Amino acid sequence: MEQEVLLEVKNLKKYFPMKNFFGAKIGDLKAVDDVSFVIYKGETFGLVGESGCGKSTLGRTILQMLEADSGSVIFKDKDIANLPKDKWKELRSKLQIIFQDPYSALNPNWTVKELIQEPLKNAGMSRKQCDERVRELLKMVNMNEEDMHKFSYEFSGGQRQRIGIARAVASYPEFIFCDEPISALDVSVQAQVVNMLKDLQQELGLTYLFTAHDLSMVHHISDRIGVMYLGSMVELGTSEEVFENPLHPYTKALISAIPIADPELGRKSQRIPIQGELPSPMNAPKGCRFCTRCPYATDKCREERPEFREIRPGHFARCHML
């Protein structure tokens, strides 16, 4: 059975102009550089890569929190990247975000009720409907009804993130960008939040774009995984395929760095070190983005950018060696 495509990203680019001390432009920081992929309805699409690789920028550009320089984002047959701003109101409730830092994402001057009610009021709900919906949402995220009258600073990080999740699902969205939602939380709380996200996905029929630094957690929650490096997608495939049979040298190095709990297996495993420093996105290599740190790089890799192509059924990579 063919899966239904909910969102399609085509050749998306987001550059930030860089200026010197005197205000003169000296180049572009290529945060997202010609990225294409699809997200199927009801799935979790994981996105991994080093800090600064463009994960958050990609997600925010999809949601049009940042304006794309070129390319398109097709959501339910509408190109939302090129949609007039006055047409966005009807779509905004369908596309939501869970922020990385639950401490700065919630207004400390508002009660939990006010925080969660904001998208509901924008959707035109009455006061009574809002109150009922807030109670329902707090129950969904395992919080008490009395909590709706408290302020966000009265809660722990994990509880604040639950409030953020309740706010994100309040307006009955179809797609949620989870922007590293567990990176600011204690390890003991991370699994609880991830399991809650999975339960809500099943209950509400949600589709996620999920980013994180913890590769094992991305493996746990994701159906498919995309690997980014310097603003470019270098590998994409099912979660199992990417972890068990990685194709790109960068993906292999990332996976080899995952800690193994079993001491014996840990001693037998071989870590693949990544040489050198991450180049600046302003001065990305001319050919393959990874060529300055890849042990297999050739002259062709340094001169020609490899095509992002299907190597195995459903498994894509950007490498001249494949």
Residue-range domain boundaries for the chain: 5-94+176-280, 108-172
pLDDT at 262: 57
Mean pLDDT of the chain: 88
What confidence category does residue 261 fall into, taking pLDDT thresholds of 50, 70 and 90? low
- Per cent of the chain over pLDDT 70 is 95
Side-chain-facing half-sphere of 280: CA atoms under 13 Å:
7
- What is the β-pairing status of strands 315-318 and 232-238? antiparallel
Higher-confidence residue of 258 and 32: namely 32
pLDDT in tens, 269-287: 676 777 777 888 788 888 8
Number of H helices, E strands in the chain: 11, 12
Edge-to-edge strands, sheet with 78-79? 25-40, 5-19, 70-75, 78-79
Closest C-alpha to 95, from 209, 223, 212: 209
Q: Quick one: pLDDT at residue 222?
A: 94
Which of the two residues, 16 and 120, has the higher pLDDT score? 16
Model confidence, pTM: 0.91
What does the block give as tokens for 73? 């984002």
- Distance of alpha carbon 23 from its chain centroid, rounded? 32
Q: Which fold has domain 5-94+176-280?
A: Rossmann fold (3.40.50)
- Residue 268 has what pLDDT? 58
Residue owning tokens 């990080």: 157
Place of tokens 């699409």: 45
Between 207 and 102, residue with greater pLDDT: 207
pLDDT surpasses 80 at 245: yes
Q: pLDDT by residue (tens digit) across 163-189? A: 999 999 998 999 999 999 888 788 888
Grouping H, G, I as helix, E, B as strand and the rest as coil, residue 236 is strand
Instruction: Compute the distance between CA of residue 34 and CA of residue 228 in angstroms, rounded to an integer.
Output: 12
